[in-house]
C-alpha cells in the first residue's frame, strides 16, 4: 500500500485485515498535512470525524459485519457539498456566516454508506463560476504535475488532491466542464454522468438546469466503484462488468469542426492516438456546437446571476473580484435571451442524439492545451486573445448542454497531462466506461503520478526560481 | 420580448452602459460607478454569445459528416 494505491486495493486490504481503516485514515491525514500547505487543494480537514468513521469500520469488521465496497478508502469533497455540521462555503466568503449543514449531501452519504471515509473539503472557483481554481479567498490550487500551473476548475481541489495521491477518490460538480477540465489538466479520470444520474441534493447550486454531481479517481476501476456507490437503488452498476465492457465492440467517432479548432500540437497527437486506438471515424461534425456553447454561456450567466442577485445587491464587494461582475452581468441579461437559450438546447440535443444513432461514443479534446501557468489571464485561439477563466470550457460546454455522460480520460503523453472526453448518449455510461476501459487496457489511458513527488520544499524552490527570473 | 430586450443584441458600448444602469436599478442592484466597466465588458461578451446562437435556427442540423 502506498499513497497512490487504488480505493479498491485499500478496501480489499481493510476487508481482509491487512490494514486497519484507522491506520489508512491516519496515513492519509498525515500526508495531507505534509503536502497540502503548498498544493492548496484542501480548505478543511475532518480529522476527528474521519478517525471516528474509520474506527467504526474496524469495529464492524471485528464483529464480522459486512463492509461496503469502499471500506476504509479515503475521499474528499468539493466544498459545495453539504457535510453535516460544516458550513458549505462553495468557495466563497459570502457563505462563511451561513449555518452549518444539518445533514450530508446525498452523494456524500452514499459514499459513506459504501464505507468511504470522508477526510476533508476541497478548494474550487467561487460558486463554481470559473475554470481555474484561482480563488481570491482561498488562494490558487496548484497542479501536482507542475506547481507553477493551475489545476483547472472549478473542481480544481478535487482533481489535484487525487492527482497528488492525497486521496484515491473525490467528489466534484460539473456545470460547463468543471470536472472534465481539472481532470484533464491534472491527469486523472473524471466522470460527469448523465444529468440527474447522481444526486445533486445537498450540493450548493450554480445553474440548476446544467449542474451535475460527479467524481474523480486515478484508476478507472475506482471511478466505476465510486459511480456505483452514488447510484440510486435499482440502477445498473458498472464495476461487475467493467472487464467485459473493455472487450465490447464500439462504434467511435472523433469530433471535428468546433472541437478541432485551435488545438495545440500535443492535443492533436493525443486525439490522433485515441482515434486510431478506437478505430474511429474522423471529423464527425456537430454543426450546432459553437451556437450551443454560446447558448450555454448565456444560460449559465443568467441562472447564476439571478441566483445571486440578493447578495449582489447587498454585498458585491465580498465576491471574488473575478466572479462578482460576471454574475451581475448575467443577472442583467434579458429573460428572453435566457428563454431562447433554453429553446436552443432542445435543438442541439436532438442533433447530438442523431449522431449517437451512428456512434456509441464520440471523442473530443478536454482543453486546447496543457494547464496554463497560475496568474496567466489569457490564451490565444485563432490568433485572438481570450480569457482563460471564461473560455477553458470551449470543448466541454456544448456537451454539458446535452446532459450526456462523459469520462475525462487521461492519455499517456510525454508532456504535461492531457485528457480526452469520451462522450456517450444520455443514460449510456456503460459505453463511455467501455471505451475508457479499452484505452486503459491498451496502456493509452493512464493516470501517471507526478514525475517528481510533490513536496513543499520542491515547490518553494521552484517558485523562488520563477520569481527570481521574473 | 420587451423593446429593451429586443434591442439588447444591437446595443453599442454606450447603449450597453445605459442598459446596465437601467436594468440594475430595476433589479435593485445598482452598479457602483467603479464596477460599470467590468459589468459592461461582461455584458459585451454575453451579447456576442447571444448573437452567435440567435443567428442559428434552433441548433438542429445535419448531425455528422463522418469519414472512416
Which residues of chain B have a CB within 8 Å of the CB of A335?
5
The active-site residue out of A5, A154, A170, A173 is A154
| Interface contact A312-B20, CB threshold 8 A | no
pLDDT tops 70 at residue A449: yes
DSSP B66: -
Residue A454: what pLDDT?
72
pLDDT band, residue A390 (cuts 50/70/90)? confident
Specify the pLDDT at position A353: 96
Q: Which tens digit of pLDDT belongs to each residue from A307-323? A: 999 999 999 999 999 99
pLDDT at A351: 95
Please report the pLDDT score of residue A356 as a whole number: 97
**Mean pLDDT along residues A437-453:** 93
A195 part of the active site: no
- Which one of A261, A328, A388 would you mutate to disrupt binding with B, by most B Cβ within 10 Å of its Cβ? A328
Q: Does residue A241 belong to any structural domain of this protein? A: yes
Residue A452 is predicted with a pLDDT of 75
Q: Is the minimum CB–CB distance between B14 and chain A shorter than 8 Å?
A: no
* B55: chain A residues, CB-CB within 8 Å: 291
CATH number of the structural domain spanning residue A451: 3.90.1300.10
What is the rounded CA–CA span in Å between residue B36 and residue B24?
11
- For residue A116, is it within any domain? yes
Nearest to A286 among B38, B63, B67 (CB): B63
A301/B24 Cβ within 8 A: no
Residue B2's pLDDT is what?
54
CB of B63 within 8 Å of a chain A CB? The answer is yes
| Helix, strand or coil, per DSSP, at residue B5 | helix
* Inside any domain, residue A328: no
Interchain contact, A334 vs B1, CB within 8 Å: yes
User: Containing domain of residue A169, as a range?
Assistant: 7-290+340-469
pLDDT band at A468 (very low <50, low <70, confident <90, very high): low
Does the pLDDT value for residue B65 go beyond 70?
Answer: no
Cell triple for A2? 502506498
Is the pLDDT reported for residue A82 higher than 70? yes
- Is the pLDDT at B66 greater than 60? The verdict is no
Mean pLDDT of A114-136: 98
Number of structural domains in chain A? 1
Flag whether pLDDT at A432 surpasses 90.
Answer: yes
- B2-43 per-position pLDDT tens digit: 544 668 999 999 999 999 999 999 998 889 899 999 999 999
Verify whether the Cβ–Cβ distance A340 to B53 is below 8 Å: yes
Which chain A residues contact residue B3 at CB under 8 A? none
What is the tens place of the pLDDT at every residue in A19-39? 999 999 999 999 999 999 999
- Please check whether residue A388 lies inside any domain of the structure: yes
Average pLDDT of the residues in A258-267: 95
Q: Write down the pLDDT at residue A381.
A: 86
Q: List CB contacts (< 8 A) between B1 and chain A.
A: 334, 336
Task: Determine, yes or no, domain membership for A327.
Answer: no
Q: Which of A325, A352, A357 sits opposite B39 (nearest CB)?
A: A325
Average pLDDT over residues A174-191: 98
Task: Give tens-digit pLDDT for A341-364.
Answer: 999 999 999 999 999 999 999 999
Mean pLDDT of A221-233: 97
pLDDT greater than 60 at residue A469: no
pLDDT at A467: 64
Residue B61 above 80 pLDDT? Answer: no
Active-site option among A5, A155, A158, A178 = A178
What average pLDDT is seen over chain A? 95
What pTM, to 2 d.p., does this model score? 0.95
Catalytic site includes residue A178: yes
| pLDDT above 90: residue A334 | yes
Is A209 within a domain?
A: yes
- pLDDT for A464 equals 74
Closest CA of chain A from B18, distance in Å: 12
Q: Quick one: three-class SS letters along B6-58?
A: HHHHHCCHHHHHHHHHHHHHHCCCCCCHHHHHHHHHHHHHHHHHHHHHHCCCC
Residue B60 pLDDT level (bands cut at 50, 70, 90): very low
Q: Is the pLDDT of residue A174 over 70?
A: yes
Nearest to A253 among B28, B50, B66 (CB): B66
The answer to whether residue A304 is domain-embedded is: no
Answer whether A401's CB lies under 8 Å from B49's CB.
no
**B53 interfaces chain A, CB cutoff of 8 Å:** yes
Confidence of residue A457 (pLDDT cuts 50, 70, 90): confident
Q: Which of A254, A280, A329 to mutate to test the interface with B (most CBs of B within 10 A)?
A: A329
**8 A C-beta contact, residue A295 and residue A341:** yes
A293 CA to centre of own chain: 19
CB under 8 A, 24+ apart: contacts of A228-235: A228/A69, A229/A68, A229/A69, A229/A70, A229/A110, A229/A111, A229/A113, A229/A114, A229/A116, A230/A107, A230/A110, A230/A111, A230/A198, A230/A199, A231/A197, A231/A198, A232/A199, A235/A197
Amino acid at each position: 500500500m502506498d499513497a497512490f494505491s487504488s480505493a479498491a486495493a485499500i478496501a480489499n486490504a481493510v476487508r481482509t485485515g491487512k490494514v486497519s481503516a484507522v491506520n489508512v485514515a491516519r496515513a492519509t491525514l498525515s500526508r495531507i498535512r505534509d503536502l497540502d500547505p503548498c498544493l492548496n487543494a484542501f480548505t478543511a480537514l475532518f480529522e476527528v470525524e474521519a478517525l471516528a468513521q474509520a474506527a467504526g469500520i474496524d469495529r464492524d469488521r471485528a464483529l464480522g459485519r459486512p463492509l461496503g465496497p469502499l471500506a476504509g478508502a479515503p475521499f474528499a469533497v468539493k466544498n459545495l457539498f453539504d457535510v453535516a455540521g460544516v458550513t458549505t462555503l462553495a468557495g466563497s466568503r459570502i457563505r462563511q456566516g451561513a449555518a452549518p449543514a444539518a445533514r450530508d449531501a446525498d452523494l456524500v452519504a452514499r459514499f459513506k454508506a459504501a464505507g468511504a471515509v470522508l477526510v476533508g473539503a476541497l478548494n474550487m472557483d467561487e460558486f463554481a463560476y470559473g475554470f481555474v481554481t484561482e480563488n481570491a479567498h482561498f488562494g490558487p490550487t496548484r497542479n501536482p504535475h507542475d506547481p507553477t500551473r493551475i489545476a483547472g476548475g472549478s473542481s480544481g481541489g478535487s482533481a489535484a488532491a487525487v492527482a497528488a495521491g492525497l486521496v484515491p477518490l473525490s467528489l466534484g460538480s460539473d456545470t460547463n466542464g468543471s470536472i472534465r477540465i481539472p481532470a484533464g489538466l491534472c491527469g486523472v479520470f473524471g466522470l460527469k454522468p448523465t444529468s440527474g444520474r447522481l444526486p445533486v441534493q445537498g450540493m450548493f447550486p450554480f445553474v440548476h438546469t446544467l449542474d451535475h454531481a460527479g467524481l474523480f479517481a486515478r484508476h478507472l476501476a475506482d471511478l466505476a466503484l465510486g459511480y456505483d456507490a452514488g447510484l440510486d437503488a435499482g440502477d445498473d452498476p458498472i464495476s461487475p462488468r467493467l472487464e467485459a465492457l473493455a472487450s465490447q465492440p464500439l462504434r467511435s467517432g472523433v469530433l471535428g469542426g468546433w472541437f478541432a479548432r485551435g488545438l495545440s500540437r500535443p492535443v492533436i497527437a493525443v486525439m490522433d492516438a485515441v482515434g486510431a486506438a478506437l478505430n474511429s471515424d474522423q471529423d464527425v461534425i456537430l454543426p450546432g456546437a459553437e451556437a450551443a456553447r454560446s447558448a450555454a454561456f448565456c444560460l449559465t450567466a443568467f441562472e447564476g446571476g439571478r441566483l445571486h442577485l440578493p447578495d449582489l445587491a447587498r454585498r458585491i464587494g465580498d465576491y471574488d473580484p473575478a466572479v462578482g461582475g460576471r454574475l451581475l452581468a448575467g443577472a442583467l441579461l434579458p429573460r428572453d435571451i435566457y428563454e431562447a437559450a433554453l429553446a436552443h438546447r432542445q435543438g442541439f440535443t436532438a442533433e447530438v442524439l442523431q449522431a449517437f444513432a451512428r456512434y456509441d461514443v464520440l471523442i473530443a479534446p478536454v482543453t486546447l492545451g496543457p494547464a496554463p501557468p497560475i496568474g496567466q489571464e489569457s490564451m490565444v485561439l485563432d490568433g485572438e486573445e481570450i480569457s482563460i477563466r471564461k473560455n477553458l470550457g470551449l470543448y466541454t460546454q456544448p456537451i454539458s448542454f446535452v446532459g450526456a455522460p462523459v469520462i475525462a480520460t487521461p492519455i499517456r503523453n510525454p508532456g504535461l497531462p492531457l485528457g480526452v472526453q469520451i462522450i456517450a448518449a444520455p443514460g449510456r455510461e456503460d459505453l463511455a466506461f467501455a471505451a475508457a476501459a479499452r484505452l486503459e487496457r491498451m496502456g493509452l489511458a493512464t493516470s501517471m503520478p507526478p514525475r517528481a513527488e510533490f513536496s513543499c520544499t520542491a515547490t518553494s524552490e521552484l517558485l523562488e526560481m520563477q520569481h527570481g527570473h521574473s | 420580448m420587451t423593446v429593451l430586450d429586443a434591442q439588447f443584441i444591437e446595443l453599442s458600448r454606450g447603449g450597453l452602459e445605459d442598459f446596465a444602469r437601467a436594468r440594475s436599478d430595476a433589479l435593485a442592484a445598482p452598479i457602483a460607478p467603479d464596477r460599470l466597466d467590468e459589468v459592461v465588458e461582461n455584458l459585451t461578451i454575453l451579447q456576442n454569445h447571444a448573437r452567435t446562437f440567435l443567428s442559428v435556427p434552433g441548433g438542429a442540423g445535419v448531425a455528422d459528416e463522418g469519414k472512416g
